[in-house]
């Protein structure tokens, strides 16, 4: 095994070890969250916050995905920006996920303090936990595309009828947006009597299934869209700015366990200060920081991205610390329309931008209203 392969293996081992001890608990909780979300999400008690055991340092447990939409997380964890911001006060424990609903399950049982996630799962987690989490910043807009396998003759959303279309997970952000596209095209999920079979699968598996011809299309975040195009010959059906609202919608936001937010406000502010710094740095020098992203991506997945995939992925992304509040409200309505919530929830306390705005004031930047 080469040194690079060892590094990839060690990265996965480091991230997965913490999950195994509570696997059975999360399996049980998966069923609970699914039932609550499908039945209208009645109050189930606030999210748990379990301080991590160990030395005198506070452990900040951070969840994220190996996606370009979470580039601040990957860059900041790779180059030490977050560790430097927290200083000697805390240490970071990373937890890797494929999609939002599983991350929310971990947060609600007290295994996650902060996370990068799509707004769809954030809303669901907020509802089922009785407001146990809050969105504290934006991270990215756009960053997801609709692709179709070569030879599928799918050129628009209306062509998805009678086809198998994949998303990273049911009830995640891409799933919610796909269902909006289907509704506008006069289509419906086969599970509800329609003709479109929506298939939840992890992003690497979506790539494999499209290559085998077992899927017709997929709505996926970057870099998976660009990888599917390059590695399978798939084509773009809808670009990132054509999916919804001309791209002016949140694809990734930063959330916090509400009790952690209340009990560790200084750590939250330090994290957000680093997040804002990273957002500005990456926007000003994308060439440098996409390479840092790629280093971390290789550690997490065992394989770096080709340069052209990296370039096309980043071009489909708009970095921001603004959570696009209007789109968050729209996502709540879309989740209700999709049947994941029985009625549109009251999300008046979902966003808490006070820590972010304090950081922005200190940096001389405009506050998010």
* Residue 165 contacts residue 217 (beta carbons within 8 Å): yes
Q: Which two tokens stand for residue 323?
A: 């959570």
Are 343 and 257 within one domain? yes
Are 14 and 68 within one domain? yes
Are 156 and 89 within one domain? no
Q: What is the pLDDT of residues 147-182, one digit of tens each?
A: 999 999 999 999 999 999 999 989 888 999 999 999
**Chosen domain end from 210, 239, 268:** 239
Q: Measured between alpha carbons, how far is 63 from 60 in angstroms, rounded to an integer? A: 10
Does 4 score more than 50 pLDDT?
no
Parent domain of 199: 144-239
Q: What is the pLDDT of residues 256-313, one digit of tens each?
A: 999 999 999 999 999 999 999 999 999 999 999 999 999 999 999 999 999 999 999 9
Are 149 and 82 within one domain? no
CATH number for 211? 3.40.190.10
Q: Kindly state whether residue 93 falls inside one of the protein's structural domains.
A: yes
Number of residues that this document lists for the chain = 369
**Chosen domain end from 218, 239, 260:** 239
pLDDT above 90 covers a percentage of the chain that reads 74
Are 226 and 334 within one domain? no
Residue 33: per-residue pLDDT: 39
Are 258 and 219 within one domain? no
What residue has token string 């931008």?
A: 353
Give the helix ranges, DSSP H, for the chain: 3-20, 23-38, 71-79, 81-86, 100-108, 119-128, 173-184, 203-211, 224-232, 258-263, 265-284, 286-301, 307-315, 325-337, 354-362
More confident residue, 28 or 183: 183
Q: Which residue, among 276, 253, 254, has the nearest Cα to 366 in the 3D structure?
A: 276
Domain count across the chain: 2
* Residue 32 contacts residue 185 (beta carbons within 8 Å): no
Are 17 and 156 within one domain? no
Residue 53: per-residue pLDDT: 54
Are 154 and 131 within one domain? no
* Residue 145 contacts residue 227 (beta carbons within 8 Å): no
Are 234 and 262 within one domain? no
Q: Kindly state whether residue 123 falls inside one of the protein's structural domains.
A: yes
**Chosen domain end from 179, 210, 239:** 239
Are 28 and 120 within one domain? yes
The strand order across the sheet containing 90-96 reads: 90-96, 58-64, 114-117, 250-257, 133-142, 317-319
Are 116 and 176 within one domain? no
Q: What is the pLDDT of residues 190-221, one digit of tens each?
A: 999 999 999 999 999 999 999 999 999 999 99
Q: Is the peptide bond prior to 361 cis by the omega test (within 30 degrees of 0)? A: no
Q: What is the mean pLDDT of the chain?
A: 86
């Amino acid at each position: 095994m080469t040194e690079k392969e060892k590094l990839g293996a060690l990265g996965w081992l480091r991230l997965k070890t913490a999950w195994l001890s509570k696997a059975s608990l999360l399996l049980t909780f998966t069923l609970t969250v699914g039932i609550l979300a499908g039945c209208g999400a009645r109050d189930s008690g606030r999210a748990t916050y379990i301080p991590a055991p160990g030395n005198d340092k506070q452990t900040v447990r951070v969840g994220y995905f190996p996606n370009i939409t979470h580039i601040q997380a990957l860059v900041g964890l790779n180059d030490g920006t977050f560790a430097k911001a927290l200083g000697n006060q805390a240490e970071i424990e990373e937890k890797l996920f494929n999609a939002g609903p599983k991350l929310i399950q971990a947060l609600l049982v007290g295994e996650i303090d902060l996370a990068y996630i799509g707004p769809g799962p954030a809303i669901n987690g907020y509802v089922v936990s009785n407001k146990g989490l809050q969105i504290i910043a934006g991270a990215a807009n756009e960053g997801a595309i609709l692709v179709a396998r070569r030879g599928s003759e799918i050129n628009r959303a209306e062509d998805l009828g009678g086809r198998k279309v994949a998303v990273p997970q049911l009830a995640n952000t891409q799933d919610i947006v796909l269902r909006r596209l289907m509704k506008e095209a006069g289509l419906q999920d086969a599970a509800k009597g329609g003709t479109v079979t929506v298939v939840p699968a992890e992003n690497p598996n979506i790539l494999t299934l499209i290559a085998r011809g077992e899927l017709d299309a997929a709505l996926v975040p970057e870099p998976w869209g660009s990888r599917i195009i390059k590695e399978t010959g798939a084509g773009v059906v809808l670009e990132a700015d054509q999916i919804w609202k001309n791209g002016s919608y949140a694809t990734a936001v930063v959330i916090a366990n509400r009790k952690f937010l209340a009990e560790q406000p200084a750590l939250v502010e330090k994290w957000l200060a680093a997040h804002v710094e990273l957002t500005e740095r990456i926007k000003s020098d994308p060439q440098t920081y996409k390479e840092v992203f790629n280093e971390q991506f290789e550690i997490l997945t065992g394989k770096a991205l080709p340069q052209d995939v990296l370039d096309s992925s980043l071009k489909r992304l708009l970095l921001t610390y603004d959570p696009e509040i209007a789109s968050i409200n729209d996502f709540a309505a879309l989740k209700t329309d999709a049947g994941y919530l029985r009625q549109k929830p009251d999300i008046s306390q979902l966003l808490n931008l006070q820590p972010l705005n304090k950081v922005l004031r200190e940096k001389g930047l405009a506050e998010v209203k």
